[in-house]
Amino acid sequence: MIRGLREICRRHMFFPGWLGIFINPFYFARAGLRDAMTEFAPRLSGHLLDVGCGSKPYRSLFEVDGYIGLDIESELSRERKVADFYYDGNIFPFADATFDAVLCNQVFEHVFNPDQFLAEIVRVLKPGGKLLLTVPFVWDEHEQPYDYARYSSFGLHALMKKQGLKVIQHRKLGADATILFQLTNAYLFKVTQGWPRPAKLLLTTTVMAFINLSGLVSRKIMPGNPDLYLDNVVLAEKGTRNNSLG
């Protein structure tokens, strides 16, 4: 029974339904990513590489010919036993033009060498292959000390263009009043990390749940703001020429 409850809670961490309002401190951020992944997943096909795959939380959304998870070599990634391949943070262990699509979800902010990283993605993509990338714009420092950057929409477009990637679609998630409520809950989550588990659970199911509900109401009555948002979602395509700009 306990295992079943844990599985329900885990699912609502990445695919939050109504229950997620009461148990997920990151409800708005994760709901936005859930919706974006559900929308964009059908745009990727063939053999897909999930770069920085972690636990492969969105694997079930992708109906592809092959799904390969790549993670950076670390004690945690080895213990997780989810990734199919590991790399050293520099060179992907694949030949040129191996994949039809690449997914990179909430990883790019942890990359210290973004140009080299994108160049590797372009290298392993086939001509005409697609990249689906998500990355935070407004968020706290996390997975410290490996949190290196935040990217505006303009910065992402410039980096993509530099590597010969054409942006097909760009979506800003949480560009409305919910960002204020999400950041409030993120603040409460961080400052109560040292609390006993029962106290944190009580806070989540009462105060944080109320904040989530308030955010849902505020979204309906307050205007959006496209310049202040939680996450970027970019769908880009590799050109059919050589990956250099030429």
Check which CATH number belongs to the domain holding 164 and give it.
3.40.50.150
Domain-located, residue 243: no
Q: How many domains does the chain have?
A: 1
Domain-located, residue 114: yes
Please report the pLDDT score of residue 73 as a whole number.
83
Domain-located, residue 226: yes
Domain-located, residue 63: yes
For residues 182-208, average pLDDT: 97
Which of the four pLDDT bands, split at 50, 70 and 90, describes residue 40? very high
Please report the pLDDT score of residue 10 as a whole number.
78
58 three-state secondary structure: coil
Indicate if the pLDDT at residue 165 is higher than 90.
yes
For residues 19-29, average pLDDT: 96
Domain-located, residue 26: yes
Please report the pLDDT score of residue 4 as a whole number.
66
Please report the pLDDT score of residue 75 as a whole number.
74
Contacts 24+ apart (CB under 8 A), 89-97: 90/116, 90/120, 91/120, 92/49, 92/51, 92/120, 92/121, 92/123, 92/124, 94/49, 94/124, 95/124, 96/123, 96/124, 97/123, 97/124, 97/125, 97/126, 97/127, 97/129
Please report the pLDDT score of residue 65 as a whole number.
97
Indicate if the pLDDT at residue 218 is higher than 80.
yes
Domain-located, residue 246: no
Give me the chain's average pLDDT, please: 93
Indicate if the pLDDT at residue 32 is higher than 50.
yes
Please report the pLDDT score of residue 243 as a whole number.
44
175, 231 Cβ separation under 8 angstroms = no
Which of the four pLDDT bands, split at 50, 70 and 90, describes residue 7? confident
Which of the residue ranges 73-87, 97-111, 154-168, 196-210 would you say has the lowest mean pLDDT?
73-87
Higher-pLDDT residue of 90 and 62 is 62
Q: Which alpha helices (H) appear in 109-225, and where do they start and end?
A: 114-124, 153-162, 178-191, 197-203, 209-221
Please report the pLDDT score of residue 1 as a whole number.
60
Domain-located, residue 245: no
Domain-located, residue 59: yes
Q: How far is CA 148 from the centre of its chain?
A: 15
What is the domain range of residue 23? 2-238
